[in-house]
Amino acid sequence: MKDTKEILEVCSEFFNTKNIKEIKEITTGNINETYVIKFEDCKYILQLLNSHVYYSPIGVMNNTRLILDHLRKKCIYEGKNPHRTVLNFIKNRYNQDLAIVNNEYWRCCEFIDDAYSLNREISINEFYEIGKAVGNFQVLLSDFTPNVLDDSIRHFHDTRYRFERFKEVVELDKFNRVKECLPEICFIFQRQSKFDIITSKLEKGIIPKRVTHNDTKASNILLDNEKQRYLCLIDLDTVMQGSLLYDYGDALRYGASVCSEEETDISKIDINLDLFKSFTKGFLEELRPSDNPKDITKEEISLLCDGFWIITIELGMRFLHDYLDGDKYFRKDEKRIKHNLERARNQLQLVLKLEESFEKMKIIINDLLDELDYPKYYKIG
Ligand code: GN1
Ligand code: MG
C-alpha cells in the first residue's frame, strides 16, 4: 500500500484533491494495486498498473480502450446502461488515459455502484450468471478483429512455453527451495506431454483465435446487487488473442472448486459438479450456434474440459515457478514465506480432482448440448 501522500499526488492528476472524502485500498487482485477514491456523491477506482508484469502499460491501455469502445457501442445499441455494463475510464488533466507519476503508470475509472464480485461462496445461480457473462463477452467481441490487440504479456497462456521457463528455475534452484517441492515438480513433469493441447491447435488453425479476457475468475466479474444478474467483466489487462477455452477454463478453475484458491488444507479441495454444470449452462446458452462463421466450433466444445485442466495446471505451475524464483510475480502475504507454494499445492490438487471427474464433466456437457438444442454433431464422442 502506498502512503496517503503518494496517492494524493496521483489523485491530483485527475481531481481536485480537496474534495476527496476517503481513500480505501482493495486487496483482492494479485497483480495491480487498487484504491477506491470517494467523493461526496461519487466514487472512482484508481489503479497502479504493475509494470514488472506488463512490459508496456501504454499497450495495455490501448487494448483496453479498443475493447471498451467496441463493448460500449454494442451495449448502447441494445439499450443497456453503459455506466453499469462497461467500464468507463476517465482521462487525467492532460487528457491522457494514464497518469505517469514517479515513473509509475496509474489509471482511473468510474466505480460501478450497487454491484458485487465474488471471492468465495458462489451460488448455483450466480455461477450460471457468470457463465453467461463469460459467454456473452465472446458474443460481443466476435466481430472484433483479434490481431489488432497487443500481447500485453507474451506467451501468457502458452503452457508449453511456461513449462520451458519452469524447467529453468528448477534447474537453477536459486533459493534452494526445490528440495521441498519435489512431489509438486514431479506432478507437473509427468503431465508435460499434454501442455500444448490447446496452443498446437491454435497454431494449426484447428481452433480459432478469438479475443479472450484470459483472467475470468469470479472476482473479475460484476453482478448487480438487486437482480443478481451479470453486469460486466472487469480487469481487462490481459485481453488478447487466444482461445475461448482459456476463459471457460479459468472461470471454472476459480469458481467450480469447493474451496478458495487460497485454501491451505488441500484435503478439502474438490470439484462441485453442480457449479460446473450451472456455469457451463450459462456459457453454452450464450454461445448457442446461429449459422455464423464465428460460432463456437465442434472442436472447441470437444476441448472444454481440457481448457479447465490446462488453465488449472498452468496456474499451479506459475505459482510454483514464482515460489522457486523468490516470489517476484504474485502479490503475497509478506508474513507467509510459503504462500505461493501453498497456492501451487491448492491448484495441483484441483488438477487431480478434475482428472478424476473428466468423464462426468463430459456427460454433463453432452446433456447440456441436448437441452440447449445444439446441432447433434456438436456432441463430444
Ligand atoms: C492474477 O490480477 P488478478 O489478481 O486478477 C493473474 C492471473 C491468475 C490470478 C490468480 C496478469 O490475476 O493470471 O489467474 O492472479 N494475472 C496475471 O488469482 O498474471
Ligand atoms: Mg489481473
Q: Is the model's pLDDT at 381 over the cut of 90?
A: no
**Which pLDDT band holds residue 309 (cuts at 50, 70, 90)?**
very high
For the stretch 328-354, pLDDT in tens is 999 999 999 999 999 999 999 999 999
What mean pLDDT do residues 22-26 have? 95
What mean pLDDT do residues 5-20 have? 96
- Look-up: residue for cell 455461477? 127
- What is the structure's pLDDT at 18? 97
- What is the structure's pLDDT at 338? 97
Contacts of 330 (CB under 8 A, 6+ apart): 30, 31, 318, 319, 322, 340, 343
318 alpha carbon – ligand 1 mean position (Å): 10
- What is the structure's pLDDT at 233? 97
What mean pLDDT do residues 343-371 have? 98
Q: How many CB atoms lie within 10 A of CB 183?
A: 9
What mean pLDDT do residues 72-93 have? 96
182 alpha carbon – ligand 1 mean position (Å): 25
Contacts of 332 (CB under 8 A, 6+ apart): 339, 340
Contacts of 359 (CB under 8 A, 6+ apart): none
Classified as helix, coil or strand, 215 is: coil
- What is the structure's pLDDT at 120? 78
251 alpha carbon – ligand 1 mean position (Å): 12
Q: Is the model's pLDDT at 119 over the cut of 90?
A: no
Cell of 225: 446487487
- What is the structure's pLDDT at 197? 97
Q: Are 175 and 324 in contact (CB under 8 A)?
A: yes
The alpha carbon of 123 is separated from its chain's Cα centroid by a whole number of angstroms, namely 19
What mean pLDDT do residues 297-314 have? 98
Residue 181 CA to residue 146 CA, distance in Å, equals 39
Q: pLDDT > 90: what percent of the chain?
A: 96
What mean pLDDT do residues 215-237 have? 96
Residues with a CB atom less than 6 Å from ligand 1: 29-31, 53, 215, 217, 220, 235, 238, 261, 315
**Which pLDDT band holds residue 42 (cuts at 50, 70, 90)?**
very high
Q: Is the model's pLDDT at 1 over the cut of 90?
A: no
Q: Which helix (H) or strand (E) holds 242?
A: strand 240-242
What mean pLDDT do residues 23-34 have? 93
* Ligand 1 pocket, mutate which of 31, 153, 156 (most atoms under 8 A from CB): 31
Q: Which helix (H) or strand (E) holds 137?
A: helix 124-140
- What is the structure's pLDDT at 2? 87
- What is the structure's pLDDT at 28? 86
Residue type, 75: C
- Relative to the CA of 238, which ligand 1 atom is closest? 11
- What is the structure's pLDDT at 184? 98
Classify the phi-psi angles of 358: left when phi > 0, otherwise alpha if psi is within -120 to 50, otherwise beta.
alpha
> What one-character-per-residue DSSP string does 118-132 give?
-SS---HHHHHHHHH
**Which pLDDT band holds residue 82 (cuts at 50, 70, 90)?**
very high
Residue type, 258: V
Q: Is the model's pLDDT at 282 over the cut of 90?
A: yes
- What is the structure's pLDDT at 347? 98
Q: Are 34 and 108 in contact (CB under 8 A)?
A: no
Q: What is the pTM of this model?
A: 0.96
Q: Average pLDDT over the chain, rounded to whole?
A: 96
